[in-house]
Amino acid sequence: MNKRTIYINNLLVRNTGITLFFITFLLVGCVENKDSSGLEYMPDMYRSPAVEPYVDYAEIRNKQNPELAKKLSAKTPPIGTIPYYGTDKELVELMLPYKRKPGIEFQQTHGLVDYVFSNKNEYELAANDKINPIHIDSTNSKEIFEEGKKIYSYMCAHCHGEKGDGNGPMVKSGAYTGVPAYADRKDLSNGQIFYSIYYGKGAMGAHGPLINKKEIWTLVHYIRKFQDPEYGKKDTSKVEQSNSTDVEIIKDTITVNNSM
C-alpha cells in the first residue's frame, strides 16, 4: 500500500469514531422532548385506581378511556354538600350560608354577571348589615389586623394597593383602571363591603369562591383600618371612662360589643 491508501485508511478509521460519536449524541438528543415527562419506572405505581385531583383518567399510558374524559378529575362535591367547620358555635354560625342573595343570572353565569341583576337590589339592603360578626376590640385587634394583612396581601393588594389607595401593581402597569381608594368610601357599611367582596361589584369579580366568610369578615376589619387609623384600638372599658367627644364615633363599636 502506498501513502495515499494509508491516508484514506486513516480517514476511514477516524471517521468511524466521529460517526459513532454523532450517533450517540443523536440518541441522547431524541429523549429531550418537553412534552414527554421521560421514562417511568413501573407506571402502575404512578397511575393508580385511586382517584387523585387533576388527573385526566381518559388517557393512562396510551390507553384511551374516552368515557372518563373530563369526568374524574377535580370533581365537584355532590349537590347540597356543606363543609364541616367543627363544633365551635361562633365559627359555625359565621360560616353559615350568606343571607343576601345575588340575582338568578349571577348563579347561571357563575358570577360573571354581578349584583346589578340582583332582584331586590340586595346591595342596598346590605347597607343595614352594620355589624361585623367577628368581634374586635383593643385586645384582639392586633391579631385580626395581622391575619387581615396576610389575606389582603395576596387577595387584594395587587389592585387595591398595599396601602389601600387603589394603586396596586395591576393599576400601575395599566391593566386595570378605576380602583377606588378605601379612604373615599367611608360611607359604605360593613355589610356592603362584605357583599362587594362576596359577589363582586362593578369591575371587581366575585371573591366568595376564593376565600371563606371568616376571611372576608377579617378583611372587612382590615379595610376599615385603612379608613380610620384608630379603628379597633378602643375597648369598652375605656369608652365608659372617657367623656370626650369621640364617644359618638365609637357608638357603633359598643353596640357590636353588646350584641356579641
Does the footprint of other proteins cover residue 119 (CB under 8 A)? Answer: no
Region 3-22 residues binding other proteins, contact defined as CB under 8 A: 5, 8-13, 15-22
Q: Residue 149 contacts by C-beta under 8 Å, 6 or more apart in sequence?
A: 222
Name residues contacting other proteins, limited to 192-251 (CB under 8 A).
200, 202-207, 209-211
What single letter denotes the amino acid at residue 198?
A: Y
Alpha-carbon span 162 to 164, nearest angstrom: 6
Cα dihedral value 101, 103, 107, 110, nearest 10: -100
* Shortest reach from residue 179's CB to other proteins, in Å: 7
Nearer to other proteins, 205 or 233 (CB): 205
Q: With respect to other proteins, which residue has the nearer C-beta, 92 or 183?
A: 183
Per the listing, cell 374516552 goes with 66
- Which of 64, 120, 138, 180 is the binder for other proteins (CB under 8 A)? 180
Distance, in Å, from the CA atom of 23 to the CA atom of 168, rounded to the nearest integer, reads 55
CB 144 within 8 A of CB 134: yes
Angle at which helix 213-227 crosses helix 141-155, to 10 degrees, equals 100
Tell whether residue 23 is a contact of other proteins (CB under 8 A): yes
Residue of 93, 143, 184, 246 that binds other proteins (CB under 8 A):
184
The DSSP bridge pattern shows strands 59-60 and 63-64 to be: antiparallel
Q: Please pick, from the candidates 131, 170, 239, 254, the single residue that binds other proteins as defined by CB under 8 A.
A: 170
Query: Which residue, 176 or 231, is less far from other proteins as judged by CB?
Result: 176
Shortest Cβ distance from residue 159 to other proteins (Å)?
8
